[in-house]
Structure 1
Amino acid sequence: MDMNNKYVMVEESIKHQIDSGLLVSQDKLPSIRALSQQLSVSKNTVIRAYQELEAQGVIYAVTKSGYHVNHRQDTLKPVTKPNQVDLLSVCKEILTYSPENEWLATGTAHPNIDTPIIKSLYAEIGRHSRRQANVASHYQLPPGNDQLIKHLGKISQDLGVNAPANQIAVTHGAQQAISLALRALTQAGDIVAVESPCYFGNLLLMESLGLKVVEIPSCPKTGIEPESLRQALKKWDISAILVTPNFTNPTGARMPLEKRVELLKLAPSIPIIEDDVFGALAFDQGIPPLKALDKDDRVIYVNSLSKVLDSRLRIGWVTAGQYQAKIEKLLLCDNMGSLNLMQSAVADFLGTGKYRTHVQKMHRFYQANVKQFHCELVTALNQYPELRGRYQIYLPQGSFLLWLTLPEHIDSEKIYQQAKPEGISILPGTIFGTSDQFRH
């Protein structure tokens, strides 16, 4: 590759990151030295690319601060019309795997459980199991175990959500909480707005409920685009909005405070379901959830212990404000008997105070591991000249999710099929949208 092609490659890489939302207005670009090392090109090549981009008005130089992304009137990606979801067959095939045969399980969003505190959690579950063997059988009726609800209220409060005990209902994971919320707010044929890409589990829920989905473009760095949502609200009668402001699955995006405020202003009469399962895993002080900013009592807040403790616990909770009574009625009809063993055991575990210690430890653990994995993945990808400078992977500010965008001609489903026999799991982007738009 000659010098001219190399600087064009660098230029196109920066432009693509801006177009895809990985770099936004005022963001600082890597230093000349850092980018030359990252892309394995000379410093002169990077300088030439930055000069060309500056001449085009794409970036600007700041004395002693390097180059920054210029403000521009972006052409928003068009919002596609509402779609029926048809992902069940694809998801069943991809999610049917044997984790015991994997040596690199990057296709799952399960938390680290190799800690003494998690072992003490399961010791507590064992004690409750033996104790219940000598107690008459009974149901744990909704809204759930009183002590567990008390502790979940404290966890919510730590995240900025003040929820009294009579406004919390325990669910079978966050998935059931979102399902109950959708059933309380919609009926078959209604339209729900979701960020795109969107967690496949939520898309499957809407498929099962016969709902239509309008996918709102989402920046992999700052989440759902309010202006795109505004366009959709003008075109269609949207019954509910489902978002994950904190570290959305799969991109790890986190909505800044100003975007959260704007989102609430955009749709003053439309209920919002807020999925906050990764909220406790922020590497900094965190940002108030939508529920904490809501003055109209219309945000349904959903959380769970699956991403912080263990997915197998299947303990989630919902606080729904004006919709609480309807959701609890649906919960009672669905779950005459809940997992009383798990609820009582986890309640006692949370009463030990070990939860906060565990969360603090996981902050450090995930932050270090995500950085290391990101670094090793970038090093590996840069070995291929055809990929160097042509992929995007954003380092999140919390959780343990990484979203890799490859050149558009690359098929992630084929990579998935090739990696699977080698004991490597990934999740192809095809399951995070309804129109096959994330195949790369």
Structure 2
Amino acid sequence: MSKQQPAKYLQVAALIEERIEKRSYQAGDKLPSIRELSTTLSLSKNTIIRAYQQLEGSGKITAASRSGFVVSTPHAPVKPRLNTPKYVDLMGLSKTIMNLPTDKNVVSFGSAHPDTEFPAIRSLYAEIGRHSRYQHHIPSHYQLPPGNEHLLKQLVAVNRELGITTSVDELLITNGAQQAISLSLQAITRPGDIVLVESPSYFGNLLLLESLGLKVVEVPASSHDGMDLHALQQVLTRWQVKAIITNPSFNNPTGYLMPTQKRLEFLALTTGIPIIEDDVFGGLAYQSRPLPLRALDSENRVIYCNSLSKTLDSRLRIGWVIAGKYQDTIEKRLMTDNMGSPNLMHSAVGEFLSTGKYRQHLGKIRRSYAKKQKLFHQRLSHELDQYSHLQGHYHLSLPQGGFLCWLTLPEGIDGLTLFHQALEKGISILPGEMFSTHQHHRHCLRLSFATYEDTPKWQAALAGLASIIAEQ
């Protein structure tokens, strides 16, 4: 007599539970809709509903108001993996990857540059052209810190939209957010000091730490809500941390969004320690987002760094820092580093921001990225699921803003090898190895959907990427 198979809804429940256990679905992740899973598995909607009811009854998943189901957050904290402080050594790998020649035919999933195919970008460069024609009428001079006054006034309004009340006197204009973070680190640390970062962490910040001779200690972070606060507490108890760098809103590389309550707990745990808040993706929320750490800070110790690189164009190199109690020190360093800012760019961007086109532009790109994310996620998941040995063994983050996502693959897969294999096929990606001083993320990839188009060319690229992954 043949063994009787479990009811179909129990088979579906077991499949979802297996994916949760293997962290393909992580705490807080939204599960496929009933209709979507019904189509994917070729089963009735009633079967899927019963499966979800079964999982909800066991506490594995939770019904979200008008949002389907999400994976439940475990009550017992998982014991975190603690890393020891160490010097960064990523420059060689980063130069190798970033200097590899690419041509216009390469399909780029690796770049963190925004989509510039919007009317506002054309208006911006028209404004820059007009201002360039005026320059010969103006006497040559240095634009000293804090920067162009008209631009500063417009940035006050930009920050207000982000939830930060500030004034012209509290802002310093920098050469992108990277310079803002670099100057902040120089103001609050000395070579050999320990700086705490989330893991994985943006490789540009890690390279800054390397160039300044600083040690880094990494705290594991979820691709859903960020830094593990239990691990954070253990690290702070064990080592003397002089500064913290965090990117809590639509994080680079994972896309996570730290909720308000967790932000408050994070601030309470780290009291007295300077925090550098990297908020370059903060303006790209699809719906809404919590207040920045700077707005929640009661100790005036959060140094807020932002730029227009992710919302307009990375070529502008216009950033700013709100440094609180550290402003005087950072302004002195900005003066000696620059002895002036690019007058043309600052005056033109200030004028562009004053037209109101930037606010309209933000609305368009948020809607565009939200749509692209959905298409990209569905298409890549579909291609990976074509391979039975990959089904349920990967996790693709689903951020609520920005244009980056994080693909976690089975641990035997090597992301750096995938990078080279994909580039040979005309596909650009970034390996997870670039986002840590340890080897914990070698099986991960950072992907961008900023310029994704749901066309045969891009679909073929995702199919090719899935095929390379499956072969490994």
Q: TM-score, normalised by structure 2?
A: 0.85
Secondary structure of 1:217's aligned partner: strand
Tell me how far 1:268 sits from its aligned partner: 1.2
1:234-269 Cα distance to aligned partner (Å, 9 max, x none): 000000111111111000000000110001111111
Tell me how far 1:98 sits from its aligned partner: 4.1
Q: Which residue of 1 aligns with 2:220?
A: 217
Q: What letter corresponds to residue 166 of structure 1 in structure 2?
A: D
Secondary structure of 1:230's aligned partner: helix
Q: What letter corresponds to residue 351 of structure 1 in structure 2?
A: S
Task: Describe how 1:23-38 pairs up with structure 2 within 5 A.
Answer: 23-24=27-28, 29-30=31-32, 34-35=36-37, 37-38=39-40
Task: Describe how 1:74-153 pairs up with structure 2 within 5 A.
Answer: 74-153=77-156
Distance in 2 (alpha carbons) for counterparts of 1:146 and 1:48: 62
Q: What letter corresponds to residue 413 of structure 1 in structure 2?
A: L
Q: Which residue of 1 aligns with 2:450?
A: none
1:243 is the counterpart of 2:246: yes
1:417 is the counterpart of 2:423: no
Match for residue 22 of structure 1 among 21, 26, 34: 26
Q: What letter corresponds to residue 59 of structure 1 in structure 2?
A: K
Is the CA contact (8 Å cut-off) linking 2:307 and 2:320 kept in structure 1? yes
Distance in 1 (alpha carbons) for counterparts of 2:62 and 2:297: 39
CA distance change for structure 1 residues 147 and 381 in 2, over 3 Å: closer, same or farther? same
Secondary structure of 2:320's aligned partner: strand
Distance in 1 (alpha carbons) for counterparts of 2:50 and 2:163: 47
Distance in 1 (alpha carbons) for counterparts of 2:216 and 2:70: 39
Tell me how far 1:38 sits from its aligned partner: 4.6
Tell me, which stretches of 5 or more residues in structure 2 are unaligned?
444-472
Tell me how far 1:330 sits from its aligned partner: 0.6
Task: Describe how 1:250-261 pairs up with structure 2 within 5 A.
Answer: 250-261=253-264
1:312 is the counterpart of 2:315: yes
What's the % identity of the aligned pairs?
52
1:299 is the counterpart of 2:302: yes
Q: What letter corresponds to residue 335 of structure 2 in structure 1?
A: L
Tell me, which stretches of 5 or more residues in structure 1 are unaligned?
none
Is the CA contact (8 Å cut-off) linking 1:297 and 1:322 kept in structure 2? yes
Q: Which residue of 1 aligns with 2:60?
A: 59
Tell me how far 1:95 sits from its aligned partner: 1.1
Q: Which residue of 1 aligns with 2:459?
A: none
Distance in 1 (alpha carbons) for counterparts of 2:190 and 2:45: 58
Distance in 1 (alpha carbons) for counterparts of 2:37 and 2:100: 38
Q: What letter corresponds to residue 349 of structure 1 in structure 2?
A: F
Distance in 2 (alpha carbons) for counterparts of 1:41 and 1:107: 36
Q: Which residue of 2 aligns with 1:392?
A: 395
1:61-97 Cα distance to aligned partner (Å, 9 max, x none): 87x9878636430223222111110000100111124
Q: What letter corresponds to residue 169 of structure 1 in structure 2?
A: L
1:341-369 Cα distance to aligned partner (Å, 9 max, x none): 11111111111111101001111111111
Distance in 1 (alpha carbons) for counterparts of 2:168 and 2:193: 32
Task: Describe how 1:277-288 pairs up with structure 2 within 5 A.
Answer: 277-288=280-291
Q: What letter corresponds to residue 22 of structure 1 in structure 2?
A: Q
Q: TM-score, normalised by structure 1?
A: 0.91
Secondary structure of 2:404's aligned partner: coil
1:114-152 Cα distance to aligned partner (Å, 9 max, x none): 111101100111111121134332211111100111111
Q: What letter corresponds to residue 243 of structure 1 in structure 2?
A: T
Secondary structure of 1:213's aligned partner: strand
1:208-247 Cα distance to aligned partner (Å, 9 max, x none): 0011111011010101122211111000000011111111
Secondary structure of 2:334's aligned partner: helix
Match for residue 335 of structure 1 among 325, 332, 338: 338
Please, what is the CA RMSD of the aligned residues? 2.8
Tell me how far 1:192 sits from its aligned partner: 0.6
Secondary structure of 2:138's aligned partner: coil
Tell me how far 1:100 sits from its aligned partner: 3.5
Task: Describe how 1:352-367 pairs up with structure 2 within 5 A.
Answer: 352-367=355-370
Distance in 2 (alpha carbons) for counterparts of 1:293 and 1:305: 23
Q: How many residues align?
A: 434
| Higher mean C-alpha deviation, range 27-36 or range 81-90 | 27-36
Distance in 1 (alpha carbons) for counterparts of 2:103 and 2:131: 28
CA distance change for structure 1 residues 269 and 67 in 2, over 3 Å: closer, same or farther? closer
Match for residue 12 of structure 1 among 9, 13, 18: 18
Q: Which residue of 2 aligns with 1:199?
A: 202
1:356-404 Cα distance to aligned partner (Å, 9 max, x none): 0100111111111111111111111111111111110121100111111
Distance in 1 (alpha carbons) for counterparts of 2:361 and 2:52: 44
Is the CA contact (8 Å cut-off) linking 2:177 and 2:280 kept in structure 1? yes
Tell me how far 1:103 sits from its aligned partner: 3.9
1:377 is the counterpart of 2:383: no
Q: Which residue of 2 aligns with 1:184?
A: 187
Distance in 1 (alpha carbons) for counterparts of 2:156 and 2:61: 48
Is the CA contact (8 Å cut-off) linking 1:21 and 1:219 kept in structure 2? no
Is the CA contact (8 Å cut-off) linking 1:196 and 1:218 kept in structure 2? yes
Is the CA contact (8 Å cut-off) linking 1:159 and 1:279 kept in structure 2? yes
Distance in 2 (alpha carbons) for counterparts of 1:48 and 1:95: 49
Match for residue 273 of structure 2 among 270, 274, 287: 270
Secondary structure of 1:111's aligned partner: coil
